[in-house]
């Protein structure tokens, strides 16, 4: 199945290291990140899961629930978590889905047979509180992801959802943002009474809304 931005993400039930999970119900009104890693007891995956555990507080602050997945069985996940704590200094603090029958992997198109017909690639899905897909990225098995980048995109998505702004190239939280083209100048005046800088009629720059002074 090819999932595209704006699609409602498929619901599923699965076994995880935190017990059974019913995906849509578990997400509730939160944002979600579902990410796959190719295999348990592999080096890159071990570093990634330790890093996501380290960043858990950052995901919580943004009202984002995180869940990992690999096609290995629960008993392997359970045996592996000790290695993550030992080598990365952070114990797993979010659920890991066991998907040995590839039910979830197939639903989300996480197996790319020309890369490997046995293991998932490194997929990342960011899901909004409306259960719609907001972002998907696919990395090769050999490249560990940058989860600070995932947080950066979530910050951008949440700003757009709340304030009708978009974020420019290389933006990071605190930098100026762009008023979305769909907002007329008249409507923008109401939202941004402090004004903005017009570089072109379609390129209107405004300080990031919602920053505490
Ligand atoms: C890893 O997680 O280290 C890995 C997994 C599959 C292929 C290459 C590296």
C-alpha angle 98/99/103, rounded to 5°? 150
Is 1 exposed, middle or buried (CB count within 10 Å of its CB: 0-12, 13-18, 19+)? exposed
Q: Which residue in the list 14, 45, 53, 111 is annotated as catalytic?
A: 45
Neighbours of 49 (CB within 10 A): 27
Nearest to 177 by CA among 136, 211, 128, 137: 211
Beta carbon of 116 within 6 Å of any ligand 1 atom = no
Active site residue 16: no
Name the residue of 41, 110, 120, 142 whose CB sits within 8 Å of the most ligand 1 atoms, as the mutation to test its pocket: 142
Give CA torsion, residues 169, 170, 174, 178, to 10 deg: 0
In the chain, the domains with their CATH numbers are 13-144 (3.40.30.10), 163-206 (3.30.1020.10)
Name the residue of 35, 36, 40, 44 whose CB sits within 8 Å of the most ligand 1 atoms, as the mutation to test its pocket: 44
Rounded to whole angstroms, the Cα distance separating 117 from 101 reads 13
Average pLDDT on 141-166 reads 96
**Residue 211: pLDDT over 90:** no
Mean predicted lDDT score pLDDT of the chain: 96
Q: What is the pLDDT of residues 64-93, one digit of tens each?
A: 999 999 999 999 999 999 999 999 999 999
Average pLDDT on 86-112 reads 96
Q: What is the pLDDT of residues 48-59, one digit of tens each?
A: 999 999 999 999
Q: What is the pTM of this model?
A: 0.95
Beta carbon of 143 within 6 Å of any ligand 1 atom = no
């Amino acid at each position: 199945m090819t999932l595209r931005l704006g699609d409602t993400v498929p619901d599923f039930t699965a076994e995880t290291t935190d017990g059974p999970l019913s995906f849509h119900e578990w997400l509730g009104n939160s944002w979600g990140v579902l990410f796959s890693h190719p295999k348990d007891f592999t080096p890159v995956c071990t570093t990634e899961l330790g890093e996501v555990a380290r960043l858990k507080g950052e995901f919580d602050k943004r009202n984002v629930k995180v869940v990992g997945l690999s096609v290995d069985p629960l008993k392997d996940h359970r045996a592996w978590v000790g290695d993550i704590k030992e080598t990365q200094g952070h114990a797993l603090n979010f659920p890991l889905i066991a998907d040995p029958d590839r039910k979830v992997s197939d639903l989300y198109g996480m197996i790319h047979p020309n890369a490997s017909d046995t293991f998932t690639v490194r997929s990342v899905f960011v899901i909004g509180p409306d259960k719609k897909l907001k972002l998907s990225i696919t990395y090769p098995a050999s490249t560990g992801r940058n989860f600070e980048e995932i947080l950066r995109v979530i910050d951008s998505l949440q700003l757009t959802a709340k304030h009708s702004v978009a974020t420019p190239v290389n933006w990071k939280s605190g930098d100026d943002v762009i008023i979305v083209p769909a907002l007329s100048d008249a409507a923008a005046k109401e939202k941004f009474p402090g004004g903005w800088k017009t570089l072109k009629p379609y390129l209107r720059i405004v300080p990031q809304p919602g920053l505490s002074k």
